[in-house]
Each structure stands twice: as C-alpha cells, then as structure tokens.
Structure 1
Amino acid sequence: MNVQQRLPYQNEDIPVRPQQDSDDEEEALVNDYREQVQFDDGMSDLERTTSLGAGQQAQDIQAQLTAAATPLDYQATLETKFASYDNYCSLFHYILNSDGPVELEVPSYYWAWDVIDEFIYQFNSFCSYRHRIARKGENDEEKQLLRENPNTWGCYSVLNVLYSLIQRSQINDQLAAIKRGEDPAAVAGEYGSRPLYRMLGYFSIIGLLRVHCLLGDFALALKTLDDIELNKKAMFARVMAAHFTTYYYVGFSYMMMRRYSDAIRMFSHILIYVSRTKNFQKNAQYDSISKKNDQMYALIAICVALQPTRLDDTIHSALREKYGEQFLRMQRGGPEALPIFEELFRSACPKFISPVPPDFDNPELNVDPIDHHCAIFMDEVKANIWSPTVKSYLKLYTTMDLNKLAGFLEVEPEKLRGWLLVNKQRSRQVRWSEGGLLDGDIVNASDLDYAMQGDLIHISEAKVGRRLVDWYLRNLARAY
C-alpha cells in the first residue's frame, strides 16, 4: 500500500462532527442576540439618554461619557490621541476618586462595553503607532513628542484603570456570590450596587483578558476570567462584540499555551454562533467583527492542523472553502507547510504590544512584538512539523524498528528517538471541563499511542476515540 495514501486527514477524510444535541440552547442564545438587536435599534445615539439633571458638571460628564464610547478617527493626529488619553484620565479619575459613588444614569450595558472596548483599542493602536515611529524614525517632530511623554497611554495607567474599576465595583465578589447561589447585593457595597460601577467593572474583566493577551501573558489572561462562567447566561453574551472578543482571546490564549482542544472548542462555539446570527445582524456591527471572524477561521485551521479534531460541518465546509489546498498542506506537515502556518498566524494574531516604551535613540534594539510571538509560535510548529508523516508510517505497523523508520524519514536514529519521546509527551494535554479556565484534566490528545523498548517501537490505537468525541460534544454543548 502506498504510504502517501495513508496520510491522515486528507481532503476527503477530514472527520465531520455530527449534529449536536445542543441546538435548543444555541437557538436560545441566538434569540437573546435577536432581542438585543431589536432593543438597541432605538438606542444607537446617546442623545436619547434620560437626562442626568441640571448643572454644568453633569453636562460636562455627560459629554465625556459620550466621547468615551465614540471611536477615534483612524486618521487622528498625534495631538488628538494625546487629548483623548487626557479625556479618559479625567473621566475615570472622576468616577473612581469622587467623594462617594457618582450618581450617573447610563444608557445600557452596551454603552459600558463600548467605553472599555474603545479605551483598550486606543491604547493598543497608540502603542503600535509609537513603536512604528521609534523603529522608522521618519517624523522627528512626532518622535520627540513621544520621547518626552513616555507615560502617555502607558501599560501601568491602563491596567490601573481596569483593576481599579473591578475593585471599586466589587464585581468579582458579586460574580463569586452568584456562582455560590447567594445574593450579590450582600457583597456589592455602595459602589457595586450602582449600575455605572457594576457594568464598567464587569467589562473591565473582559478588558483585562484582552490586555494581558496583548502583552503576551496568556496564563494571566485566562486567570482573570475565574469568576465569569462561559455560557449563554453571562452578561458578555448579551453584547455581540463582547461575546466575540471574549472567545477570540480565550481561544488564542489556549492556542499559545498548546491546549489545542480547548482552543478549538472556543473558536467553534463563536463561529457557529456567528453563522446563525449573521442574517439579522446590523450592518455596522457585523462589519466591525467580520475581520475577526476571518481571523478565527485561520486560527482554528492552525489548531486542527496541529491536532486533528472533529469539527462541526458548518466550520469544516467553511475551512475547505477558505483555505482548500493550504489547509491540506498544513495537515500533511513537512517544511513546505511552515510558510502557511506563519502567514495565517500573522494575519490572525492580536496586535501584540510591548509593555515598555520603545528606545527612540537605538531603533535597532526595538523588537517587533508580533515578530517575537510569531517566532515563539513557529518554534512549536517546527517541533511538530513531521508528526503527520511519522504517524502515517506508524499506522501501518504494530511493531517497527527505530532504525527502519529513521531510514524512511532520512534522519539519524537517535534524533528520531528524541523526537518520538518529546512528541509522546506533547500528546498529553490539559483539557478544561469545569472550574477556572486554567484548570483541567491531563488527557491523551492523540489517536495513536506507542511505547519504545530499545530499538523497537510498539504501536497501538489510543483508547480515546469514542470517549474523546463524547467529551468534545458534551463540553461544546455545555459552552453553548
């Protein structure tokens, strides 16, 4: 038999996940979003917000609230970006440091998400812009201005705001009380009982997930969600953009921690959800997430290539349509797949930022954060690049001589021995089922198992087939 014909997961052999039993729950989530769209149709402008009362101060704060949720123009000048930072500082200082809770009536939790989302977006774009100026040094005037203001849009300032909003609102204590079946009002305090603080605090948790991921601390990013349950009852699931952002960054963090099964489950959830809601999404909102939707397909293609997994037929069809031959080459492995992995990673990863200001005097010392994380990821890909080829040979035998396999692969026997041992260890992954997102059980994620005795390799089908499928379907339904 031709070994090439036995390469795993060829185009016609990619397994398709059967229809799940969670359609009712998924439909309920879709209906929740439909209600959100209908509710928001009349609330697109903050001018329709209930009056906050008389007084110049209330009017000023209302203007700041409106500005905080308004996207900054893409072509905004550097002076405008500095002014926007000052406005955010002024607003958050007023909210956090006033004598007692601020009595402000906010439009809805959609507004609270827009404020936190725009705040982090401007922070991310400013850091990327500053790094680009430091490396190219084309505009001396802007370069000097940035050098003289290293703390503007600094990581410490942004993290301080998010953590302060969470602490003021006691939102983690409230969420923990809800999980225990207790009354959250008992631990909310005078600040957390106000909708303004409660909503800003809640979405600041999602904001921390995003910022820590942008900074490259993926474990801490997942740790921030310990008190939020990823299900359709969560508040973030009521806001499409928040729902999408949460699963994107959770899935990406899992991928960078080599927990591919968990990453695939997160990406699958949100991609199926988007496919069911796209017919009645508002155009402006759908356009804002369409790019991230494409990025998620690229990321799930990477994860499935590194760890073959059953997929929903909708996602499977979309992957074949979007990537076709590229997807097959990634699954086959080998050196020719490396450029595809790198291309998809760069197109789909977040816009990473450095936690410290760049060195304007020595541009060559400024490492691009995206290049840095891409190099780390590609090291992992290179360590697994021969896995599909090796598995295709091992599946033909129950016992095989190490030297014979090394001859097939044209590598040194001892080098192959080291690779087999490392690959066997990598096949054991932590898989989440309940508790915090960092928790989980250690399972064998491969469909092939082997043991080495001297120069003999004993091969067997891993006893995970049906149990893995059942586990995957059960937890995907729970996530819905």
Structure 2
Amino acid sequence: MSRRADYEPHTGDPEQDLAYDREQRARARTSSDGSDEVPGEVAGYLAFFANAIENEDNVDEVRHLYESAFPDLTERFFRERMWPDEHQVEAIVGPGRRIFIILYKELYYRQLYARNQRGPSLTHRYESFMNYQDLFSEVLNAKEPLKLALPNIWLWDIVDEFVYQFQAFCLFKANPSKRILDDIDELMNIEENQNAWNIYPVLNILYSLLGKSQINEQLAATKAKQNPDDVADEFGQSKLYFKLGYFSLIGLLRTHVLLADYHQALKTVEGLEMGPKGLYNSVPSCLVTLHYFVGFSHLMMRNYGEATKIFVNCLLYIQRMKSVQLQNQQAKKNFQYDVIGKTNDQLYQLLAICLTLQPQRIDEAVASQLWERVGDRMSRMANGDIDEFRSCFQMGCPKFLSPTTVVYEGGNLSKEPLIRQCQAFLEGIESQIALPILRGYLKLYTTLPTHKLASFMDVKEADYDSFLGKLLTFKMIVNELGKDVSTVGVGADASDVEETTTDIDFYVDKDMIVIADTKVSRRVGEHFIKHIHKLYEVQSILSKLDVSPKPAA
C-alpha cells in the first residue's frame, strides 16, 4: 500500500521515524479497547496530518490529506457520528500543536454545520466563532509571519466558511423555530455582550486580513506593472498572508452583498484582476462565488449588460467543469461541487432577468441551456408578468441578512431582508416592465410617431407623459451597453470581448421616433493593433530583465 494510504511519514531522521512507529502502535492498541475510541487508521491519519502541516514544503501532501483523505475517512468511519473531539485528537498528536488543533476544530465544526439540516446548536455556533477568533488571532497578532503553508482550497474554505457561518447565525437568531427554549438565555447573553458573530468583529477580522497582507497595495502595484514586493513588508510577502488577504476580498464582497451594499461590494474587489492570472482560478468554488456576487451586484445596480457578461462567462466555466463535477458527486467526496451546481441554477434565473430587460447575443451553449431551463418563464416576463420576475429573483438571489435583527419569541423574521430586497427590485422593474414590449414594436419600424406607438401599447391620453418617460428609460438602457467595460469574466481581456449590444437604437425628434439598425461588423483591425502594442510592451519589459548566466559553482 502507498505511503499516503497508510499515512506513515518517513522524515529521513531514524529517531523521529522510530518514535512515530512506537506512537502509532500505542494508538492502535488503545483504539481496539472500545467502540468509542478512535480507530487506528484515523489516529494514524491525524498524527501524519499534524506532522505534514508543520512542514512548509508539504503543501501537496496537506492538500491530499485535506481534500481527499478527510472526506474518505468521514465516509468510512464517521457517517453516523462526529469526528473525535479536540481532547482525543490532542492525546493522539501530542501537546504543543495549537495551530493544528485549531485547524482541526475548523474542520470539525464545518462538518457539524454540513451534517445538521436544522443547523448546529447555539453552543456549537458560539464555540465555532471562538475557534475562528483563535485562528485569526494567531495569524494577525504574530510578531513575524507564521511558518504555515496551506493549500489554496483550504485557505479559501476557511474564509468562505467564516462568512457562511456568520450568515447562518444571523438567520438563526431571527428565526425562533430553529431554537429550543434553553437557547433564549444564552442568546440574550451573546447579544448583550456582542461577543460572537456580531457584524463588527466579523468585518474587523476580514478588513484586518486585508491590512495585514497589504493586498490592495500589492494588487495596485501589479496592475501598474510594478514589483508588489516593493510595497509589502514581510507579512505581505508571505504566501499565507497574501492568499488570506486575497480570499478575504471575495469574502467581503459576499458579506456586503448579503447586507445589500452593492456599491461597496464592487468597490471591494475593484483591484482584482479578472483574468487567467487571478488567484481565484485555482479554486473552482471561489471563482464561481466571485462571479456570482459581482454579477448580482451589477444586476441590482441595473447594469444588466455587465451582469450578463459575467454570468455567461461563469456558466461557460461551469459547463467546462461538468465532467469533474459529476465525477466528484459520484465519489461523494467534495460537497463544494454541489454548491457550484446550486449556484449554476441561480445563475440561469438571474441571466433570464438580465436578457429579458436587455436582450443581447450570448454564447450558443449557454443560450440553448437557458431556453431549455427557463424559456417559458422568459416569454412570460417579456409579456410583462411581474410575478415571474418575482419568482425568478427569489430563486436566483442570495439569502440576505439583517445583522441586528433578533427574535427571542414570536414569528420568523429571517426572510424579511429578502422580502425587502425583492420589493426594491420589483419597484425598479415596474418602471421598466413595458420595455420588452416596447422593444418589440420598435424593431418593426424605421420611423414611428410617438402617439402611434402609444396607441399600440394601449396608453391613455392622460398617461402619455409617463409613457414618454418609459421611452427615455429604454433609451438609457440601450446607451448603457455602450459604456466602457469595467469587469470581464474568466480568462478574458476587455479588448477581447466582442461588443454586445441590442440590435436597435433610436432617438426621439419632437413627436417622431427614429430607429437605427446598430448591427455593425467587428473591427478586426483594431483588435490586432491592440495586441501588437501589447507585444511591444512585453518585449520592452523583457529587454530590461537581467538574463546574464550565473557563474558556475
């Protein structure tokens, strides 16, 4: 059997190897004494895991232990019970391994959240927050960078789970039906002292990670083609701190969207390079999360064209990942791909809204799937069915939260933030509800009197002025498509994105609407000229590099 399967590390030091073997034999004898004891294979895994984490050169091994071995052992030994508690684990791995115990508890509580459909108890929610606080305190209060190397997927999962558990706690405290009577006093104590899952410490931790890693300064330097190390201290130059800061940007994006602060959400990630070099590409669930929340923010700010491009790029990525997704679901090893599958369904609902309000050409692979899934719904939305807009939004939006709402007794108020955001969205839609119908008429003419168009749409004479307002609203949406691209999707560059416009444009001259065909051929020449200039820039940078051969040792 392979070394990974047996979890028997060979350090190269005979004394360490012999000590490890003696420890494992003792664990195996202990585990055979009773059914509640830790199985010998699990004890070996935990001891090997602790040793691997302490070695900074063992990132690939740690990733295997985290991403494959942990789910496999969970499936085999812990389908009906929880993993060992921290005291049992500490007895196995030995004292003085505080970082490993904290990281293990993070996995333990994450499994607890995933296993209980109604969510964990209030005590476990509190203990999980305290563990996160211990973890981030170790990272943020260190006098020098921690000598810890974790795989990208684990670092992202830590930040993502931290935000998720904050969201879950806010929904939990607003819904009395999820609690037992004994929880009331404890919840009152937590809220009075504000010492767990409060919005201020959560934001403080995420922003502190940004500051400690100097991630914004480094991203700005990279975008300006400067050396990011010139603006970073020893913490910023540490891979651990850089990656935690990077993923915290996306965690903050999600947090601000859940709080319905869409402008701040987009401002948080404006420094991220949305392209193949972005760190988020190394973790599929991170990529999908970034695109979903950026696209949703644009949707709520009525930048439908920008939201469409982001949603389409994300859906194309998920389609390319489908074979891996199915493979992992069959193995039942990685629940993240199930999360990606759920987000995939939400993306189609939101894309349907965007294309109904602002039709444009999209990739055929996505268009065919969209029509198959929500084609009938899009037709009803195009005919002005406000209930279909409501249903589409509620199926596609995230679970909004109110960080200050606490209900000790009474009705469930956890859905109130969603209802408020849905109402705000529909109020904006009501002013645009006639736009798909309006567009259908304008496509039939080159010139059309405004009064004639009003009669087509059964507009009364008293409502004629408001009708002109709707006409100008539609004009504003058409113009929005022509604005500069600020965010593009996975692996794309702004200059490579084909112009996506509606197929009509118009202007109003007194009482006459003049409609123009805006279908234009792509400017191929400009595309090549831009890339020639980019090549010159790369050559200029390369020519300045010192490539002289190093002297032989």
Q: Which runs of 5+ in 2 are unaligned?
A: 1-58, 71-92, 535-553
Moved more, 246-255 or 147-156: 147-156
Q: 1:142 aligns with which of 173, 183, 187?
A: 183
Of the two, which has the highest radius of gyration?
A: 2
Could you report, residue by residue, the CA deviation over 1:238-258 in whole angstroms, capped at 9, with x for unpaired residues?
111111111111111111111
Question: Would the alpha carbon gap of residues 41 and 61 (structure 1) be closer, same or farther in structure 2, given more than 3 Å must change?
Answer: closer
- What's the CA shift for 1:160? 0.4
- What's the CA shift for 1:361? 7.7
Question: Would the alpha carbon gap of residues 398 and 280 (structure 1) be closer, same or farther in structure 2, given more than 3 Å must change?
Answer: closer
Question: Would the alpha carbon gap of residues 321 and 445 (structure 1) be closer, same or farther in structure 2, given more than 3 Å must change?
Answer: closer
2:221 is the alignment partner of 1:208: no
2:323 is the alignment partner of 1:279: yes
Q: For CA contacts below 8 A with separation 6 or more, give which structure has more relative contact order.
A: 1
Distance 2:523 2:457 in 1: 30
1:406 counterpart residue number: 454
Q: 1:326 aligns with which of 369, 372, 377?
A: 377
CA contact (8 A) 1:319 1:327 kept: no
Query: Which aligned segments of 4 or more residues in structure 1 are displaced greater than 4 angstroms?
Result: 36-43, 136-140, 359-367, 434-437, 443-446, 464-472
- 1:82-121 superposed matches below 5 A: 82-98=126-142, 100-121=143-164
What is the identity, as a one-letter code, of the residue corresponding to 1:149?
A: I
Could you report, residue by residue, the CA deviation over 1:268-318 in whole angstroms, capped at 9, with x for unpaired residues?
111111111211243323223110111111111111111101111110111
2:513 counterpart residue number: 458
Distance 2:508 2:433 in 1: 21
- What's the CA shift for 1:103? 2.5
2:273 is the alignment partner of 1:223: no
Distance 2:525 2:67 in 1: 43
CA contact (8 A) 2:175 2:407 kept: no
Question: Would the alpha carbon gap of residues 470 and 239 (structure 1) be closer, same or farther in structure 2, given more than 3 Å must change?
Answer: farther
Q: Percent identity?
A: 34
Moved more, 105-114 or 205-214: 105-114
What is the identity, as a one-letter code, of the residue corresponding to 2:271?
A: D
Distance 1:67 1:470 in 2: 58
- What's the CA shift for 1:445? 5.3
Q: 1:65 aligns with which of 103, 108, 112?
A: 103
Question: Would the alpha carbon gap of residues 184 and 138 (structure 1) be closer, same or farther in structure 2, given more than 3 Å must change?
Answer: closer
2:451 is the alignment partner of 1:391: no
- What's the CA shift for 1:118? 0.8
Distance 1:436 1:356 in 2: 35
CA contact (8 A) 1:95 1:101 kept: no
2:416 counterpart residue number: 368
Does the residue aligned with 2:480 lie in a helix, a strand or coil? strand
CA contact (8 A) 1:444 1:464 kept: no
What is the identity, as a one-letter code, of the residue corresponding to 2:366?
A: I
- What's the CA shift for 1:452? 3.2
Number of residue-to-residue matches in the alignment: 423
TM-score by length of 2: 0.69
CA contact (8 A) 1:69 1:118 kept: no
TM-score by length of 1: 0.79
Does the residue aligned with 1:451 lie in a helix, a strand or coil? strand
What is the identity, as a one-letter code, of the residue corresponding to 1:63?
A: I
CA RMSD of aligned residues (A): 3.5
Could you report, residue by residue, the CA deviation over 1:376-404 in whole angstroms, capped at 9, with x for unpaired residues?
11112222211122222233333333333
- 1:17-28 superposed matches below 5 A: none
What is the identity, as a one-letter code, of the residue corresponding to 1:433?
A: V
